[in-house]
Amino acid sequence: MNDHSENQQGPNEQLLQAIVSGKRPERPSAFSSTLTFSQRALLRIKHVPEQLFDVTVFPVIFLLMFTFLFGGAIAGSTGEYLQFLLPGILVMTVVQITMYTGLDLNKDIQNGIFDRFRTMPLWLPSALVGGLLIDVFRYTIASVIMIILGYILGFRPEGGLSGVSMSILLILLFCFSVSWIWTTLGLIMRSEKSLMLVSMMVLFPLTFISNVFVAPETLPNWLQAFVDVNPISLLVNAVRGFMHGTITTEAIMWVFLTSGIIFIIFAPITMYLYRNKNKKYCF
């Protein structure tokens, strides 16, 4: 009986010893884990290339439609209106695709992948930051497509290449901060449809009641007051300033201030919800 018991325990003890004595893998650095999640986001695009429609097809449709539909009525010629419209329509297009950051996060939550990420021994924000960095890549694609199409249609920025480059960088900064709003809501909302509805209710009024399509001076005084403080209008002012060579320090500072406030508010809230996510936050 004792010999049989020893034979049964021997292999188990050897297995336990092999497991315990083995060297545990090193904890990944913040950079490597963030890069891994960025690659994961790129693989999504590779396997589902339709995800790029919002940064390739839609910008072209928006610019062509608004230029030729409203150009003659508002400015008297499509060429003149294009000089005014393109910086604004560029901002509108890129800002409206920031919602997809939250949609992807919400999808991970619904599929149960979110809970697995939280149990892994890695830098916790990497799952969010990695996805956000790829979204910045998407914003860049949309911006470049808009600028190229604008040149084809006759857009000629007086600020030159440097002005266009600085305006794109400013848009990327602003949109990166706005993306944190949708990651916060992505952790709260129960479904993608709910998040999509809320984002449309916020983005459409902000982008259309702004200086994207018309100069604020042409609006009623009560509406002009809102347009002047609208964050989208502040960004459009700075982008137009860079592209047309009329940028001011005040315009840049307003964009930096707005982006900083959004980031300071929503990034900590996102991380708090990310660490403490459970059903009591959902509605």
Q: What is the pLDDT along the chain (283 residues), one digit of tens a residue?
A: 445 444 455 566 766 665 555 566 677 777 788 888 888 888 777 777 776 777 778 888 888 888 888 777 776 778 888 999 999 999 998 998 888 888 888 887 777 777 777 777 777 778 788 888 888 888 888 889 889 999 999 999 998 899 999 999 999 999 999 999 999 998 888 888 888 889 889 998 999 899 998 888 888 888 999 999 999 999 999 999 999 999 999 999 999 999 999 999 999 999 888 877 654 444 4
Task: Name the phi and psi angles at 129, rounded to 5.
Answer: -65, -40
Determine contact, residues 239/87, Cβ cutoff 8 Å.
yes
- Which amino acid type is present at position 193? K
pLDDT in the model for residue 61: 86
- Whole-model pTM? 0.81
pLDDT in the model for residue 20: 58
- Which amino acid type is present at position 210? S
Q: Where are the alpha helices (DSSP H) in 51-191?
A: 53-75, 78-96, 99-111, 113-119, 126-153, 160-188
Q: By three-state DSSP, how is residue 50 classified?
A: helix
To the nearest 10 degrees (0 to 180), the angle between helices 160-188 and 126-153 is: 140
pLDDT in the model for residue 75: 67
